[in-house]
Each structure stands twice: as structure tokens, then as C-alpha cells.
Amino acid sequence: MTAEKVKRAERMVAITQVLMAKPNVIVPLNTLAERFGTAKSTISEDLLSVRESLRLSQQGRLETLPGAAGGVRYVPEISKNEAERVLQELAEELSRPERIVAGVFLYMTDLLFNPAVLRPLGLIFAGAFRKDKPDVVVTVETKGIPLALVTSEALGVPMVVARHGNKVTEGSSVSINYLSGSSGRIQTMSLSRRALEPGTRALLIDDFMKAGSTARGLINLMAEFEATVVGTGVLMETAFRHEPKLVENYLALLRLEEFDPLSVRPAFI
């Protein structure tokens, strides 16, 4: 746009749009001042009102960062009420008996690949783990990738995906073997040496946890990279296997309570 003067209300709305279109990206106040043809002090006043509106709309908050590299950024959030409603609805959808496949599997793929379903889940994970300051969200292919991506977007950090087997297109890599609980077989997961630097703070995200062997494998893989695991989140855990899980201190959003009759319940909040 040109630097034409615009009315205050419209400028406030346009500032909101610019910030929300790039969640977690710091926008310098000077950039906004130039873009909307007004003084930096005026932009600061506008931002006070935008902040107040966010309190009303409950769609997140603004963070102001001082200094030369400073500015303002929009941090997307989900309210507690909305999170509860989302998990309750998802639990009901996942408890429909026609989701049982071949008598023993729960079909979740349509939900795991639907951006409208994923977006609030990413905000819930981000809200739970932001305090742990992850530098990266890590998952293993395939079905957990979209969930990890929306979480990484909500946190404003990149995603890293471990692969099954070695991929020649990614250069030298580190591989570990683990006993997969679902297949009962030894599996391999690997990650390019380029993917993580030592000391990285990693948040592990996956779609499903039975015994926890995949999460345990990811934790072992992170140790090879000298990364610190700051948290583990899964969309759903099973409650009906009696052996203890292979990992501790994970967050599950939903719990598969029973399979016959099918019953999924919110496990968080």
C-alpha cells in the first residue's frame, strides 16, 4: 500500500491483519509506521488497543520486544473453554463405532490430515509446552507430521522429521533401531546429521502412544544428537494396556479408554 493516511479504526484493523498473517514473527514498529504513514508513537497507541481487543476475542496476545531488533509479534493462543470444547468434540467423533477398522484399529487419518481439526490441536500443544522453550518440534513419519507442523507453527519454531530407513538425498545420517510395539518388529528411524545441532531443545510430538516404543526411540535418537528433550506430546494414548509405558512425563490430549464398546475421552484440561 502507499503511505496514505487512513482512519484510526481501519489502521488498527490493518495492523492486526499484518501481525496475525505472520504469527510469531517480530514486526518492527518502524515498519508499521512507514507502511501506514504515521508516527511510531501513534502505532504504539494503536497496539495498546489491539492488545485490549485480543483480550476480548481470546485469540492470543501481542508480545512487545524492546531494543534494536525489537518490535511486536502476534502469539496465537486458544482459550481454555475453546480447548475443552475442541477435545470433547474430537473425543465424541473418535468414539463412533464405524471408526473401528479390521476389528482392532481406530481410523483417525481423516482427522489427522484435516487442517481445521489440526489447527486448535497445535495451539493446545503450543500452550502446554511454550514455557519449556523448545527450539524445534520433532516427530517421526508419517501420520504425526501434520500435528507436529501445526504445533511448530503455533510455537514459531521449525519441525524436524525422522524417517524410516536412510534417505540418500539427505547426506550422512544417524540411525537407531527400536522395537515397534504395533508391529512387534525391529524398526529403524534415522535423521540427517544436518537436521539438529547439539544442545537443541526438542519437543516430541506424535499422533498415538501405545507402549511408548516410538517415543522412546525418538528420545534415544535425540540423545545421539546431544539434544535435550523438553517435552513429549501425543494426541492419543491407550489406557487399556496394563504394562507401564516406556516413557514418563508425556502429555496426552485424548485417552482411548475402551475398544469394545469404543470410548475415547479428553485426557487434558
Between 233 and 244, name the residue whose CB sits nearer to its own copies.
Answer: 233
Residue 178: phi and psi, rounded to 5, are -150, 155
- Show the binding pattern over residues 125-144: x = contacts its own copies (CB under 8 A), - = does not: ----------------xx--
H or E stretch at 51: helix 40-57
CA distance linking residue 253 with residue 265, whole number of Å: 9
Closer CB to its own copies, 80 or 244, in the complex: 80
96 counts as binding its own copies under rule CB under 8 A: no
Nearer to its own copies, 182 or 220 (CB): 182
195 is an interface residue for its own copies by CB under 8 A: yes
Chain mean position to CA 236: 14
Considering the rule CB under 8 A, would residue 65 count as an interface residue with its own copies?
Answer: no
Report how many residues bind its own copies under the rule CB under 8 A. Answer: 63
Which bin fits 212, alpha (ψ -120 to 50), beta or left (φ > 0)?
left
Q: Minimal distance in Å, beta carbon 25 to its own copies?
A: 7
Cell numbers linked to 25:
514473527
Kindly state whether residue 114 participates in binding its own copies, applying the rule CB under 8 A: yes
Per CB under 8 A, does 119 bind its own copies? yes
Q: How far is the CB of 248 from its own copies (least distance, A)?
A: 26
CB atoms near residue 165 (< 10 Å): 10
**Distance between CA atoms of residues 195 and 172, nearest Å:** 10
Instruction: Pick the closer one to its own copies by CB: 154 or 248.
Output: 154
Minimum distance from CB of 266 to its own copies (Å)? 21
Q: Is residue 107 near its own copies by the rule CB under 8 A? A: yes
Report which of 16, 24, 54 is spatially closest to residue 155, judged by C-alpha positions.
24
Name the residue nearer to its own copies (CB basis): 88 or 166.
Answer: 166
d(CA 240, CA 106): 14
Single residue of 84, 170, 216, 228 touching its own copies by CB under 8 A = 170
Nearest to 203 by CA among 230, 237, 234, 225: 230
Query: Collapsing DSSP states into helix, strand and coil, what is residue 206?
Result: strand
28 binds its own copies (CB under 8 A): no
Task: Give me the 223-262 binding string for its own copies, x by CB under 8 A, dash otherwise.
Answer: ----------------------------------------
Q: Which is nearer to its own copies, 74 or 249 (CB)?
A: 74
Q: Give dist(CA 216, CA 17) in Å, integer.
A: 41
Cβ-count burial 76-109 (b if 16+ within 10 Å, e if not): bbbeeeebeebbeebbeebbeeebeeeeeebebe
Query: In 3-state terms, what secondary structure has residue 93?
Result: helix
Instruction: Enumerate binding residues for its own copies (CB under 8 A).
Output: 1, 6, 8-18, 20-22, 24-25, 49-50, 52-54, 56-60, 76, 101-102, 105-107, 109-110, 113-116, 118-119, 141-142, 145-146, 149, 152-153, 156, 158-161, 163, 168-171, 182, 192, 194-195
